[in-house]
Amino acid sequence: MKVYRITKKKYQDDLSGKGAELYGGRWNPIGTPALYTSESRALCVLELLVHTQKELVPPLYIIQTIAIPDSLDKEIKKLDIHDLNPDWDKLQHPEWTEILGNDYFKKGCLGIIVPSCIIRFERNIVLNPNSEHYSELTAESKVDFELDKRLFR
């Protein structure tokens, strides 16, 4: 499986999940490292745009491709919309989503596949840097990416 991550250039070599550890996210509480990725480059861009004020978006990013060996598929838990409480996608995410992600990470899961709040049929893959299998992931490519100015009209 290939997953994608968009990041500022200065963080392109940091796969530690430190940002999510410091600030928390929908699927991890503060104090739990997580690397948020998506199943497509386009979803990465949308996730970035909904989480960043347009005045703060730097012009240049890196889109990174990360390869997850097929042999690790069983180490990633897929959560379907039907597995989640109806409020999973609220703007102010409920605490139970953080607890759920953290529980899977504590069990040693390499990651969780979750639906995107932006496009329900697309998926994000939240990776667990503390998993024993995390070192088996491969950062394959890093490509400069400039956001189209029309996104900010």
Residues near 90 by beta carbon (within 8 Å), at least 6 away in sequence: none
Instruction: Indicate if the pLDDT at residue 56 is higher than 90.
Output: no
If one counts the domains in the chain, the total is 1
pLDDT above 90 for 60: no
Average pLDDT over residues 12-38: 96
83 or 135, greater pLDDT: 135
Whether residue 6 is predicted with pLDDT greater than 80 in this model: the reply is yes
Residue 153: other Cβ atoms inside 10 A = 5
Summarize pLDDT for 34-45 with one digit per residue, the tens.
Answer: 999 999 999 999
7 in any annotated domain:
yes
Could you tell me if residue 9 is inside a domain? yes
pLDDT digits (tens, 9 = 90+) for 113-134: 999 999 989 999 999 999 999 9
| Residues spanned by the domain of 127 | 2-147
Indicate whether 152 belongs to any domain.
Answer: no
Q: Does residue 114 lie in a domain region?
A: yes
Taking a C-beta distance cutoff of 8 angstroms, is the pair 46, 118 a contact?
yes
In a domain, 153, yes or no: no
Looking at residue 16, the DSSP 8-state letter turns out to be: S
Region 42-70 average pLDDT: 86
